[in-house]
């Protein structure tokens, strides 16, 4: 699926109060999708998004960075999966900050991200 198509779906989801999970695999996730996802990430309970999984999507490093910035702006995600998400060291450090700051996050999947051990040790310390 192309970024434009996902963005349309996400915009449609904004009017639905009961969307709790978004799991997206092997497709485009770019700026249009990120912009449409942002309002869903910042919803307050009980209408909050609880699970976000992006698995092996075609996602640029700046988009991953933008997504993590959106999470830092206040989300109530319980389960986060960023599998093979093209994460830079700056993005990973911000993700560590999000994990430390979050009161709701219970699951984190960072499979297949090429993260240096020194950065991964920072995440382990946070956890």
Q: What is the pLDDT of residues 30-50, one digit of tens each?
A: 999 999 999 999 998 899 999
Average pLDDT (93-104) is 94
Residue (of 37, 46, 45) closest to 71 by Cα position: 37
The CATH number linked to 99 is 3.80.10.10
Domain total of the chain? 1
For the chain, what is the mean pLDDT?
93
For residue 37, the enclosing domain spans 3-126
Q: Please enumerate in sequence order all residues whose Cβ is within 8 A of that of 124, keeping only pairs 6 or more positions apart, or say none.
A: none
pLDDT the model gives residue 114:
86
């Amino acid at each position: 699926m192309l970024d434009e198509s996902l963005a349309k779906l996400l915009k449609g989801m904004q009017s639905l109060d009961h969307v709790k999970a978004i799991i997206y695999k092997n497709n485009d996730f770019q700026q249009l999708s990120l912009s449409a996802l942002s309002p869903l990430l910042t919803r307050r309970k009980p209408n909050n998004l609880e699970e976000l999984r992006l698995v092996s999507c075609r996602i640029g490093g700046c988009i991953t960075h933008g997504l993590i910035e959106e999470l830092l702006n206040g989300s109530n995600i319980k389960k986060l999966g960023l599998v093979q998400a093209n994460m830079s060291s700056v993005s990973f450090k911000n993700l560590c900050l999000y994990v430390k700051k979050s009161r709701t996050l219970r699951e984190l999947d960072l499979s297949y991200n090429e993260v240096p051990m020194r950065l991964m040790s920072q995440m382990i310390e946070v956890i």
